[in-house]
Amino acid sequence: MSRTDWICLATVILGFALFLYGANMFDAVVGWIGVYFFFGGILFFLVLQIYDELTKKGEVQKP
């Protein structure tokens, strides 16, 4: 796994933990920050994967 994959995974885990902490302590701000981190990490990972696939240079077939 690359460094960006680890960062995205850590962001998702941090978001999940913040959401659970905010829900347990009845702190809505921390809970919403956790939700944003969770979905932001997933979205960032997907954008990077799509960008890598689109910019990948394929082999050109010669007739």
Distance, CA of 22 to CA of 60 (rounded, Å):
52
pLDDT at 60 over 80: no
pLDDT of residue 62: 75
| CA-to-CA separations, 43 to 4, 40, 57, 60, in angstroms, rounded | 13, 5, 24, 31
Residue 42's nearest CA partner among 5, 3, 32, 2 is: 5
Q: Write out pLDDT tens, residues 2-23.
A: 999 999 999 999 999 999 999 9
The residue-averaged pLDDT of 30-58 equals 94
pLDDT at 59 over 80: no
pLDDT of residue 41: 97
- pLDDT-derived band at 58, boundaries 50, 70, 90: confident
